[in-house]
């Protein structure tokens, strides 16, 4: 079997020695090419070339951003013509690894590699549904508003040398909350063919649950959402302190149950559209894509086969 291992050497929990061990183990069973990414978009370009070359397996070794790039690269090639999509393999190497953990993969990269090799040997895998935000694929979540502001600010601090930790995310979420709480609600949400829901502060879109993790603690925003359903949607009407704290507490307890007077929650949604009265940030899988005034979200069932 021909395979390409796409490695992000800057990923949080990867080391040169660990990457060598993983590559050596995989090369013992696969005809393997290894590519270490050198810039943003390199993983996507590598995955696209792998599909065009007819590779059987594309393995992403890095964090959720690396997985997202690989998935988008694979589909960018497949959408240009009648090409057979390779199987996706994941060896976690980031800090959160939400997609890998949602699949039940080990957090340790070496253990995950052995699990991947067993899956390849047995021919085992599963089909996973994905989401799209306009033309960008996402594996586990997307959002407009609060969470996208948090992602953008964490990225800014990381570019200045700050270590990304759960504590940094929590502090940044708090500071972004206070800024947003003073702002007028700018978002309109249309779910399917329903009438638009106006004056929302933030919209969170899930492709699986948990939404993310704070260290070892799952944040459960849409418990009825999985890789086998449509998208989950959670939106906030108000940013008042008490109801927001109630939402956060429920999510950290693993319940994710809404307080309907202040929120909108739906599961198994196939399509939704977000419109903003002024441009707001959009994030997908923990990467900020800049500001948008309108975004369409789609659920795509059984989009990619993952070796598990």
Same domain, residue pair 148 and 107: no
**Sequence-ordered list of residues with C-beta below 8 angstroms from that of 245, at least 6 positions apart, any chain:** none
Q: Are 162 and 262 in a shared domain? A: yes
Is residue 128 in a domain?
no
The 10s digit of each residue's pLDDT in 79-88 is: 766 678 999 9
Last residue of a domain, which of 91, 123, 155? 123
Q: Do both 251 and 119 map to the same domain?
A: no
Mode of pairing for the β-strands spanning 87-92 and 57-62? parallel
At 307, list the tokens. 């070796």
What would the pLDDT profile of 247-268 be if each residue is shown by its tens digit?
Answer: 777 877 765 555 556 789 999 9
- d(Cα 11, Cα 15) in Å, to the nearest integer? 9
Q: Which two structure tokens, joined as six digits, stand for 65?
A: 């951003």
Whether residues 113 and 187 share a domain: the answer is no
| Strand residues in the chain grouped as ranges (E) | 2-7, 31-36, 57-62, 87-92, 126-133, 136-138, 141-144, 187-191, 197-200, 202-206, 212-214, 217-219, 231-236, 263-269, 271-284, 287-306
Q: Supply φ then ψ for residue 160, to 5 degrees.
A: -100, 15
Q: Name the least confident of 156-170, 245-259, 272-286.
A: 245-259
Least confident of 58-72, 162-176, 288-302: 162-176
SS3 288: strand
Strand duo 271-284 + 287-306: pairing = antiparallel
Q: Which residues contact 67 (CB under 8 A, 6 or more apart)?
A: 60, 90, 99, 100, 139, 285
Total domain count for the chain?
2
Q: How many residues does the chain have?
A: 308
Q: Which of the four pLDDT bands, split at 50, 70 and 90, describes residue 11?
A: confident
Q: Got the DSSP string for 63-120? A: SHHHHHHHHHHHHHHHTTTT-PPPEEEEEE-SSS-HHHHHTT--SSHHHHHHHHHHHH
Domain with 271 in it: 138-307
Residue at 214 is within a domain:
yes
Regarding whether 298 and 149 lie in a shared domain, the answer is yes
166 and 292 together in one domain? yes
Residue 38 has phi, psi (to 5 degrees) of -120, -10
Q: What is the per-residue pLDDT across 184-229, written as a single tens digit (0 to 9) for each?
A: 999 999 999 999 999 999 999 999 999 988 888 888 989 999 999 9
Strands 141-144 and 187-191: unpaired
CATH code: domain of residue 172: 2.60.200.40
CATH number, domain with residue 41: 3.40.50.10330
Q: What whole-number distance in Å separates Cα of residue 117 and Cα of residue 307?
A: 9
In a domain, 253, yes or no: yes
């Amino acid at each position: 079997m021909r395979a390409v291992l796409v490695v992000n050497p800057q990923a949080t929990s990867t080391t040169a020695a660990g990457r060598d061990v993983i590559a050596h183990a995989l090369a013992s069973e696969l005809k393997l090419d290894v590519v270490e990414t050198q810039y943003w978009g390199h993983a996507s370009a590598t995955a696209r070339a792998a599909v065009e070359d007819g590779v059987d397996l594309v393995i992403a070794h890095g964090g959720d951003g690396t997985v997202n790039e690989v998935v988008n690269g694979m589909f960018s090639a497949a959408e240009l013509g009648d090409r057979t999509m390779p199987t996706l393999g994941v060896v976690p190497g980031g800090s959160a690894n939400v997609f890998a953990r949602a699949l039940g993969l080990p957090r340790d990269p070496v253990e995950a590699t052995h699990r991947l090799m067993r899956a390849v040997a047995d021919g085992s895998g599963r089909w996973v549904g994905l989401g799209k935000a306009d033309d960008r694929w996402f594996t586990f979540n997307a959002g407009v508003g609060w969470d996208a502001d948090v992602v953008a600010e964490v990225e800014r601090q990381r570019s200045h040398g700050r270590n990304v930790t759960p504590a940094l995310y929590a502090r940044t979420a708090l500071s972004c909350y206070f800024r947003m709480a003073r702002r007028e609600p700018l978002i309109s949400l249309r779910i399917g063919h329903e009438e638009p829901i106006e004056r929302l502060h933030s919209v969170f879109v899930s492709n699986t649950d948990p939404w993310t993790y704070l260290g070892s603690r799952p944040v459960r925003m849409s418990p009825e959402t999985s890789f086998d359903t449509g998208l989950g949607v959670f939106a906030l009407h108000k940013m008042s302190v008490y109801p927001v704290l109630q939402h956060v507490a429920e999510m950290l307890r693993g319940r994710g149950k809404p307080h309907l007077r202040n929120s909108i929650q739906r599961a198994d949604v196939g399509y939704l559209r977000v419109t903003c009265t002024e441009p707001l940030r959009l994030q997908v899988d923990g990467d900020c894509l800049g500001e948008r005034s309108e975004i369409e979200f789609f659920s795509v069932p059984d989009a990619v086969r993952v070796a598990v």
